[in-house]
């Protein structure tokens, strides 16, 4: 079995089926966030190389769209086998490049496998329709066709899965793709995926990976005339910019943006179970998850008991080297992120918040912090916190819980814990989110269930039928089997 993760090869651009150095005059230094050691340096792609990537995808897509869907799906079967065969290699680079723990790496790889299994089915599910007409002798056919080429911009937190979440379905539905991974995870989120599909026999030119930065290419990736759809996963600030630029060029967007999820504990909840769900929902991958429970809302009648158990469990979490199988909380992605989260905590405490647990920050390692006693207008309550910080907020009754949960510009995920499932459903329907889970965590993603948010958490949905809608278009072809009568 050949090696999949060869850093010398993967520290390059992948354009038109060729591995080659970027033509930019500077390099992105890929750094291990735990120990600060460089993993690789990659010369950035230029605007001209972005153009080459899109033109290659455009050329290759014309032939790919005509490939029998049963043949097309074989690529994704092989890609799944390659992923399974090289799981340990991929685990190692997830740990090194993004500071994911072994538990996190396993979780991300499992999600990626599910996405490839779903991609295997998609070529057979892009169905057209025949519709009736009020005109005698007329037949209306609706053909569902690939959009052509999709531009994908992926984030650093779950880079393998969140890149594949758009790339694999877009390819499976007959499109070409140009992928730009995040600068902090160019291998796991980008060139590793190119290598995976290269091994699986994807035709050259269909998938291109450009490792670059807005400082080099500006908005060229979005403005380019070839892509018809831009799929972006990242912050709401950047997502807003992507949407504005894309709209100006009449491109569709799928935006999976940030969150500020609330996990709500009602007075009849199983508290031990709710504690377990809340700890995982907040501290998975150091809190660097868009669906993470930033806020834990607890009915005041059970606040004291819940909070004591919650803090006690958090104190048992191990912070440290992500290579250690016993580590639950590894490093944040970079020093800037660690400094920014630490500053937000300091500001909240200075404004009167109580720290039930105050974790120290050492470099990129940040131990858990639990804050309570926040004023309703505290800025930290309305922000997405991409770090191991959780806010405990008491409430009196369901109406106040709904009001607090909805008092944020975001609306991605959430959870409700209760002994009465239908009570939980009634409350969940009042929360302004795209997803919410009864008696579970806030972090969930399943390949056939629509995934996406409301408000500033995004536009559009992915997974299942939603993915087909996102990466295909409808074409109406009518056939007049009789002679039409025209008014002149």
Q: How confident is the model at residue 103 (pLDDT cuts 50, 70, 90)?
A: very high
Q: For 367-436, what is the HEC assignment?
A: CCEEEECCCCCCHHHHCCCCCCEEEEEEECHHHHHHHHHHCCCEECCEEEECCCHHHHHHHHCCCCCCCC
Asked whether the domain spanning 262-438 has the same topology as the one spanning 7-257+457-476, the reply is: no
Q: Give the chain's mean pLDDT.
A: 97
Q: Which CATH class is domain 262-438?
A: alpha beta
Three-state secondary structure call for residue 19: strand
Q: State yes or no: pLDDT of 380 exceeds 60.
A: yes
Q: Among candidates 217, 233, 225, which has minimal Cα distance to 470?
A: 233
Q: Are the CB atoms for 45 and 218 separated by under 8 Å?
A: no
- What is the pLDDT, as a whole number, of residue 4? 87
Tell me the C-alpha distance between 229 and 252, whole Å: 5
Q: State yes or no: pLDDT of 1 exceeds 60.
A: no
Mean pLDDT to the nearest integer, 414-439: 98
Residue 352: CB atoms within 10 Å: 10
Per-residue pLDDT tens over the stretch 24-71: 999 999 999 999 999 999 999 999 999 999 999 999 999 999 999 999
Q: Among candidates 55, 54, 72, which has minimal Cα distance to 64?
A: 72
Mean pLDDT to the nearest integer, 365-376: 97
Domain edges within the chain: 7-257+457-476, 262-438
Tell me the C-alpha distance between 98 and 112, whole Å: 16
- What is the pLDDT, as a whole number, of residue 5? 82
Q: State yes or no: pLDDT of 311 exceeds 70.
A: yes
Tell me the C-alpha distance between 108 and 88, whole Å: 13
Q: How confident is the model at residue 112 (pLDDT cuts 50, 70, 90)?
A: very high
Calculate the alpha carbon distances from 12 to 20, 22, 380 in Å.
6, 7, 39
Residue 422: CB atoms within 10 Å: 9
Residues with catalytic roles: 256, 290
- H or E stretch at 49: helix 47-64
Percentage of residues in the chain having pLDDT higher than 70: 100
Q: What is the CA radius of gyration of the chain?
A: 24
- What is the pLDDT, as a whole number, of residue 225? 98
- What is the pLDDT, as a whole number, of residue 3? 86
CATH superfamily of 7-257+457-476: Aldehyde Dehydrogenase; Chain A, domain 1 (3.40.605.10)
pTM score of the predicted model: 0.96
In total, the chain counts a number of residues equal to: 488
Q: Are the CB atoms for 160 and 193 separated by under 8 Å?
A: yes
Percentage of residues in the chain having pLDDT higher than 90: 98
Strands 389-395, 295-299: parallel, antiparallel or unpaired by DSSP?
parallel
Mean pLDDT to the nearest integer, 251-257: 98
Query: What DSSP string runs through 107-176?
Result: HHHHHHHHHHHHHHHGGGT---EEE--SSTTEEEEEEEEE-SEEEEE--SSSHHHHHHHHHHHHHHTT-E
Mean pLDDT to the nearest integer, 455-461: 96
Three-state secondary structure call for residue 184: coil
């Amino acid at each position: 079995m050949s090696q999949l993760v060869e850093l010398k090869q993967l520290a390059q651009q992948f354009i038109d089926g060729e591995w080659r150095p970027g033509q930019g005059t500077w390099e992105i230094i890929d750094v291990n966030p735990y120990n600060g050691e460089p993993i690789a340096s990659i010369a950035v792609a230029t605007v001209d190389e972005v153009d080459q990537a899109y033109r290659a995808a455009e050329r290759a897509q014309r032939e790919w769209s005509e490939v029998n869907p049963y043949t097309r799906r074989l690529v994704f079967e092989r890609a799944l086998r390659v992923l399974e065969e090289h799981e340990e290699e991929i685990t190692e680079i997830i740990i090194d490049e993004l500071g994911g723990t072994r538990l996190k790496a396993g979780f991300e790889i499992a999600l990626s496998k599910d996405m490839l299994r779903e991609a295997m089915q998609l070529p057979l599910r892009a169905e057209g329709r025949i519709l009736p007409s009020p005109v005698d002798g007329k037949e209306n056919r609706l053909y569902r066709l690939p959009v052509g080429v999709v531009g994908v911009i992926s984030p650093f937190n779950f880079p393998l899965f969140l890149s594949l979440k758009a790339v694999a379905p877009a390819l499976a539905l007959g499109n070409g793709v140009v992928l730009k991974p995040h600068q902090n995870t160019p291998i796991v989120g980008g060139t590793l995926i190119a290598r995976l599909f290269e091994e699986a026999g994807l035709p050259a030119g269909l998938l291109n990976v450009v490792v670059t930065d807005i400082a080099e290419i500006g908005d060229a990736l979005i403005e380019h005339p070839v892509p018809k759809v831009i799929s972006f996963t990242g912050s709401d600030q950047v997502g807003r910019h992507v949407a504005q630029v894309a709209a100006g060029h009449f491109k569709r967007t799928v935006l999976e943006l940030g969150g500020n999820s609330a996990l709500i504990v009602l007075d009849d909840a199983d508290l031990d179970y709710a504690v377990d769900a809340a700890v995982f929902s907040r501290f998975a991958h150091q809190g660097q998850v868009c669906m993470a429970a930033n806020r834990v809302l607890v009915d005041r009648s059970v606040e004291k008991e819940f909070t004591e158990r919650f803090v006690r469990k958090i104190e048992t979490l191990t912070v440290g080297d992500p290579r250690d199988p016993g580590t639950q909380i590894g490093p944040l992605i970079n020093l800037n992120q660690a400094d920014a989260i630490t500053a937000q905590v300091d500001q909240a405490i200075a404004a009167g918040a109580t720290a039930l647990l105050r974790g120290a920050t050492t470099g990129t390692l940040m131990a858990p912090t639990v804050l309570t006693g926040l004023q309703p207008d505290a800025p930290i309550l309305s922000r997405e916190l991409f770090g191991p910080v959780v806010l405990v907020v008491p409430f009196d009754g369901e109406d106040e819980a709904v009001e607090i949960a909805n008092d944020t510009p975001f609306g991605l995920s959430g959870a409700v814990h209760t002994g009465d499932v239908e009570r939980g459903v009634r409350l969940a329907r009042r929360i302004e989110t795209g997803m919410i889970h009864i008696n579970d965590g806030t972090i969930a993603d399943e390949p056939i269930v629509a995934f996406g948010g409301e408000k500033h958490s995004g536009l559009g949905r992915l997974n299942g039928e939603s993915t087909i809608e996102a990466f295909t278009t409808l074409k109406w072809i009518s056939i007049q089997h009789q002679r039409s009568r025209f008014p002149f």
